[in-house]
Structure 1
């Protein structure tokens, strides 16, 4: 049964809506390659089952997000923090886990605002760890040479059962981070050492991304180099392409990274048999608005319009409603009503 609902969850979150001047008509083939590479099962079902099987009450799960930089978007974008908040909500209520957000200092305001709008307060780590009071936050160093030691200390302290990346940019084969159209942001920090160290420790990792440059896409790196419009070029001389080499244990591509996170949350709700594990469209509206107001802007024109990756906020609200209906009808007892005869047993 999880694969049946997972099939349709994956279809929904990979419906592509992009302006043709952007990288478009790409998510379908990317999803097909990622699914085949992962063994053929619906990816949202695999990812949710992995978390459901591994994470126990009180366990910590790291949620890594944050994309977009100054001068265009000094606090990042509206894709990433809302998905992270949704996953924190699902982990907290569904698996009784302790979510720990991990991001750069510049991205912290939208992450905190999104989580609190979702009803998951961001608290001191000790309160979260010892009394499960909301989610914790860890911000990275702002110097790259300090990241490996910080990553090791974070893993030592949290002892996470899993780490999930949502719209978190990863480096290409030259160690450089890019936006999806071959533009290289400045003053960004590469958090991929956290995933490399997690892999060495056997910590489950899940990557969610939408355009080739996010952590997780390394699982299909060779495909992305040949397939992606900026697989082998950038918008500057000498650039070799945007696809990241950073892989995760499970990789879920989506039309919008937030939507991939929502699909994962829907599958957790199904496995927990609890509709409230997935937030509501009204909460989604509040989360998006809080993210935008805190500086996590829509990335096309870098404004606080009610937009995520070119789609209106109401589209994200609709995705949540459709996912909730998928969960609701699939966890309900078998019931034909009064007009369809006897149910065959």
Structure 2
């Protein structure tokens, strides 16, 4: 049954909505490659099942996010933090896990605001874990040379059962992080958190939408040849935007937030609890909070109600459709009054 629902959840979160000036006409092919590479089953189902198996009450789950930098988007963008907040909410209520967000300082305000929109308050870790009072938040060092040792330290200290990266950019084969159209980006390399978790045997999940996000390393060779900026950048001598960083489960989506929503819906399905998944009204609150806190839409770097060029109402509609799919799939079988008895019914 998870594969039946997962099939259509995957389809929904990979419906491409992009302006033709951006990388377009690519989501279906990328998804097909990732699904085949991962064994052929629906990817949202695989991700949710892995979390359901590995994570229990009181267990820590890291969420890594944050894309966009000054001067254009000094606090990042509206894709990433909302997805983290929604999936953190599902893990908090569904599995009684302790979400711990990991961001750079500049990306902290949208993450905090998004989590507040999801009604998952951010507290000191001792309260979050010891008293189940919401999520916690770790801020990465600003010195790029300290990031690797810091990642090793926090994985050892917090002992996460899973690390989930949503719309977090990873380095290419030269160690350079890029935007999806070949522009190099500043900031520290939080891929070290995922790499350290992998070394420690911790479950890792990546969600991305354009080739430069953590997780795409699973289909690196395909992306190098397929992606419009797989082998070039907007400066001379660049080798392309595709990250080398892999995760255990990798989900490409039309918008990274949508991929996170798909995993959250499948997790709610496994828990058989509708309210583990957020509502379209809460989605509006999450997005508005993110935008108002500086996590802007990235086409024109404004606080318009937009994510990756698609109206916020589109994200609300995706959430509503996922919630309806979830409600129907966890309901008891019922033909109503006009369709006669079900096969095998007494």
Instruction: Answer whether TM exceeds 0.5 for this pair.
Output: yes
1:165 is matched with which residue?
A: 165
SS of 1:251's equivalent? strand
Give the distance between the partners of 2:129 and 2:325, measured in 1 at CA: 33
* Structure 1 position 235 matched with structure 2 position 237: no
Deviation at 1:247, TM superposition (A): 0.2
Greater displacement, 263-272 / 188-197: 188-197
Give the corresponding residue for 1:296: 295
- SS in structure 2 of the partner of residue 87 of structure 1: helix
| Distance of 2:282 and 2:192 partners within structure 1 | 33
Offset of residue 218 of structure 1: 0.2
Partner of 1:122: 122
2:283 paired residue number: 284
**Which residue is equivalent to 1:201?**
200
Q: Distance in 1 between matches of 2:95 and 2:2?
A: 17
Q: Aligned residue for 1:47?
A: 47
Residue aligned with 2:137, SS = strand
Distance 2:282 2:119 in 1: 9
Instruction: Establish whether residue 76 from structure 1 lines up as the match of residue 76 from structure 2.
Output: yes
- 1:211-245 deviations in Å (ceiling 9; x for gaps): 00000000000000000000000001111100000
Aligned to 1:104: 104
1:196 to partner: Cα distance: 1.2
2:244 is matched with 245
Shift of 1:195: 1.2
Aligned to 2:141: 141
Q: How far apart are the structure 1 equivalents of 2:195 and 2:65? A: 16
The alpha carbon displacement at 1:327 in A equals 0.4
| Matching residue of 1:343 | 342
Equivalent in the alignment of 2:131: 131
Please name the residue that 1:220 is paired with: 219
**TM-score calculated relative to the size of structure 1:** 0.99
| Counterpart residue number, 1:26 | 26
The residue matched to 2:206 in structure 1 has which SS?
strand
Would you say 1:182 and 2:177 are equivalent positions? no
Which secondary structure state, in structure 2, belongs to the residue aligned with residue 166 of structure 1? strand
Report the counterpart of residue 305 of structure 2 in structure 1.
306
Deviations 1:64-116 (A, max 9, x none): 10000000000000000000000110010000000000011100000000001
Unaligned runs of 5+ in 1: none
1:334 to partner: Cα distance: 0.3
- Is 2:237 aligned against 1:254? no
| In 1: Cα distance, 2:191 partner to 2:334 partner | 48
Measure, in 2, the Cα distance between the counterparts of 1:157 and 1:324.
36
Report the equivalent of 1:316. 315
Aligned equivalents of 1:116 and 1:158: distance in 2? Answer: 23
Q: Distance in 1 between matches of 2:160 and 2:131?
A: 16
Q: Number of aligned pairs?
A: 344
1:152 Cα deviation from its structure 2 partner: 1.2
Give 1:153 deviation, angstroms. Answer: 1.3
Q: Deviations over 1:172-219 (max 9, x none)?
A: 000000000001123x11111111111110000000000000000000
Instruction: Give SS of 2:99's match.
Output: strand
Q: CA deviation at 1:20?
A: 0.7
Task: Kindly report structure 1 stretches of 4+ aligned residues shifted beyond 4 Å.
Answer: none
Q: What SS does structure 2 have at the residue aligned with 1:58?
A: coil
Local SS of the residue matching 2:172: coil
Q: CA deviation at 1:25?
A: 0.5
Cα deviation for residue 298 of structure 1 reads: 0.1
2 CA distance for matches of 1:197 and 1:291? Answer: 29
How much has 1:148 moved relative to structure 2? Answer: 1.2
**Displacement after TM superposition at 1:289 (Å):** 0.3
1:244-279: per-residue Cα shift (whole Å, max 9, x none)? 000000000000000000000000010000010110
Distance in 2 (CA, whole Å) between partners of 1:153 and 1:124 is 18
CA distance in 1, matches of 2:97, 2:292: 28
- Cα RMSD (Å) of the superposition? 0.5
